[in-house]
Amino acid sequence: MNYVSAATLAFDVIEQGRSLGTGLLESVHQVLVRGTDADTDQAGRIRTTQVAIGSSTGALEDARFVPMPPGIALDVAVQDLTQWMNRPSVSRDPIVAAAMAHYQFETLHPFNDGNGRIGRLLVVLQLMADDLITEPLLIVSPWFEARRTQYQDHLAEVSSSGAWDPWIQFFAEGVAASAVDIAERVDRMLAVQAAYVQILQVAGARGVIRDIADTLISDQVITIAMMSERFGKTPQAVAPAMQKLVDLGILSGPYGTYGRQYIADDVFLAVTAPPGRVPARDDPLQHDTGADPSRM
């Protein structure tokens, strides 16, 4: 939830036409670590202590990589990076630029914690700032996390030998695969939404039933109380509508200890299915996925 809040903050800044800067990075970090073990006096600040990456003991001599020490040089390097990222995109390829910026951010390792998550978020922010994408739908973390060893090896090779080409090719492959994955998910979600509309038309459903169905593209797990508050209806008015959606196969449930939660299984599956296993746009609806209440 912290990551969602931090990403939303950053996306809002970019969508308002404001530039990336050290202040934004620090704000994102502060939100990201809120309430965690990393929520210390270093939260929301460029680190003031030395860190070691890949050390089982925490000692510098055992580390796979030791980033720049804290101090003025690190502060200036982070500022230089954000200024370079804000340069007009006409003079550079946005994917190559994003790959280079991501490497530099992870090499600087400017925070005590959360650098990987912020660095991957920066990829999307930079592509938005460079007008390559207009909506923050791209998610690159799963692809890179699934190839963590290769990812770290490529970054290390750039640092040790200046091997930029293999890193940029690897990075571009990850962005492309992530974009295809997101496109497949969005296509499936839109197809499911269209199927819901057809089901409701055939059933002659209208009013709050249609209103609830329209929300499922963004909220796949809902409750009667949630829908009651959203549409200003009494729970007594919403409950039959929810049951009708269950009867039509659009929702399943109720689940949970108190039987309050309902799931739009087809949209939920489109969002959560592992890469490569997202149902195709024209696949039939699940209707009954046997959703496990224990996952709630």
Strand partners, 263: 221, 252
pLDDT at 142 over 80: yes
pLDDT at 4 over 70: yes
Strand ranges in the chain using DSSP code E only, listed in sequence order: 221-223, 252-255, 261-263
Q: Is 218 exposed, middle or buried (0-12, 13-18, 19+ CB in 10 A)?
A: exposed
**Average pLDDT estimate for 45-57:** 83
**What's CA 286's distance to the chain center, in Å?**
25
Closest-CA residue to 101 (of 132, 77, 122): 122
Per-residue model confidence (pLDDT) at position 287: 65
The position carrying tokens 């040089």 is: 73
- Compute and round to an integer the Cα radius of gyration of the chain: 23
Distances 152 to 23, 96, 215, 281 between C-alpha atoms, Å: 27, 18, 40, 35
Contact 162, 236 (CB under 8 A): no
Per-residue model confidence (pLDDT) at position 290: 41
**Average pLDDT estimate for 161-173:** 96
Please report the domains of the chain, with CATH numbers, ordered by start residue.
Answer: 2-136 (1.10.3290.10), 195-295 (1.10.10.10)
Per-residue model confidence (pLDDT) at position 89: 64
Distance between CA atoms of residues 30 and 9, nearest Å? 11
pLDDT at 291 over 60: no
Distance between CA atoms of residues 44 and 25, nearest Å? 8
List, for residues 55-98, the tens digit of each pLDDT value.
666 667 777 788 889 999 999 999 999 999 988 766 789 999 99
Which amino acid does the sequence have at 115? N
